[in-house]
């Protein structure tokens, strides 16, 4: 088996290849528009003269609405997905959620190309299955926060103990704490052994303005006020364990 993080290079490679193919497809039609004397009008307008046989007519034909649809959806998708990786280090959440533009792009492509479903159906099916499994694992069973302990060593870190258990040593899980952010999920290593019967994470405070700094402040306020424990959501454990034998 291939772990999630080791397979990311394939995701990036196929994504880049798809963007190149989209760009070549667009440019080839721009050449065709120029041959038919309807460039740059057809390249940027929602109502096209294309397809025409012979001299360009007096009015746009507009007999294929999916061309205008792809101008409206495809051009922004190409731009956002090309620039997105440059923002990954500065704004991870913006980079991540820009990917959801595909929820508009893929239906548009299926309408635009009558045979597109032949090569897209497999990927769509796998994505739906993956999302369904992840959603089910997150909400059932609910994760219970057993303890949250702030420590002042090493500029501060938080020790979390939650219900559940890692299957193998060395695994990680994605953690979401709605009290800090509804949308941010962060991966952390699981520091407990499978025999412990619970999941433990030790999360270091990485400085001002970070999610981990907010977690540290929440943990300190919880300890000082004695309020009830906060809700947590966990996606995992993931990854191959470490063979210690």
81-110 per-residue burial string, b: 16 or more CB within 10 A, e: under 16: beebeeeeeeeeeebeebeeeeeebbebbb
DSSP alpha helices (H): ranges in the chain? 8-35, 41-44, 65-83, 92-98, 102-112, 117-139, 211-225
Alpha carbon distance 75, 26 (integer Å): 9
For 146-155, the pLDDT digits (tens) are: 888 898 887 8
For 8-56, the pLDDT digits (tens) are: 888 889 888 988 999 999 999 999 889 888 889 988 888 888 887 777 7
Other CB atoms within a 10 A radius of the CB of residue 224 amount to 9
**CA 12, 17, 21 angle in degrees (round to 5)?**
150
**CA 150, 153, 156 angle in degrees (round to 5)?**
50
Q: What is the pLDDT of residue 225?
A: 67
| Residues facing 189 on adjacent strands | 172
Q: What is the pLDDT of residue 114?
A: 84
pLDDT at 244 over 50: yes
Report the DSSP pairing between strands 198-204 and 157-163.
antiparallel
pLDDT at 2 over 60: no
For 226-239, the pLDDT digits (tens) are: 665 788 888 878 87
pLDDT at 160 over 80: yes
Alpha carbon distance 182, 178 (integer Å): 4
pLDDT at 1 over 70: no
Q: Which residue has the higher pLDDT, 160 or 88?
A: 160
pLDDT at 3 over 70: no
Nearest CA among 225, 216, 212 for reference residue 148: 216
Other CB atoms within a 10 A radius of the CB of residue 64 amount to 13
For 66-115, the pLDDT digits (tens) are: 888 999 998 998 888 888 778 777 777 788 888 888 899 999 999 998 88
pLDDT at 192 over 80: yes
SS (H, E, C) 54-76: CCCCCCCCCCCHHHHHHHHHHHH
Give me the count of residues in the chain. Answer: 245
Q: What is the largest CA-CA distance in the chain?
A: 80
pLDDT at 193 over 50: yes
Q: Which residue has the higher pLDDT, 225 or 212?
A: 212
């Amino acid at each position: 088996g291939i772990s999630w993080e080791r397979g990311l290079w394939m995701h990036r490679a196929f994504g880049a290849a798809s963007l190149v193919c989209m760009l070549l497809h667009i440019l080839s039609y721009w050449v065709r528009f120029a041959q038919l004397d309807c460039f740059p009008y057809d390249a940027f307008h929602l109502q096209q003269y294309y397809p025409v046989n012979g001299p360009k007519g007096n009015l746009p034909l507009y007999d294929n609405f999916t061309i205008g649809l792809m101008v409206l959806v495809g051009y922004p998708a190409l731009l956002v997905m090309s620039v997105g990786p440059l923002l990954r280090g500065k704004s991870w959440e913006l980079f991540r959620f820009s990917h959801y533009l595909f929820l508009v792009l893929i239906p548009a492509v299926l309408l635009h190309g009558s045979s597109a479903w032949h090569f897209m159906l497999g990927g769509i099916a796998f994505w739906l299955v993956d999302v369904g499994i992840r959603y089910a694992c997150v909400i059932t069973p609910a994760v219970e926060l057993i303890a949250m302990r702030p420590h002042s060593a090493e500029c501060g870190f938080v020790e979390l103990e939650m219900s559940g258990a890692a299957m193998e040593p060395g695994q990680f899980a994605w953690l979401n704490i709605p009290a800090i952010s509804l949308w941010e999920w962060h991966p952390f290593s699981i520091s407990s052994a499978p025999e412990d019967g619970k999941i433990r994470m030790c999360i270091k405070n990485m400085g001002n303005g970070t999610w981990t700094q907010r977690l540290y402040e929440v943990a300190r306020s919880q300890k000082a006020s004695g309020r009830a424990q906060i809700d947590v959501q966990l996606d995992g454990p993931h990854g191959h364990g470490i063979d210690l034998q």
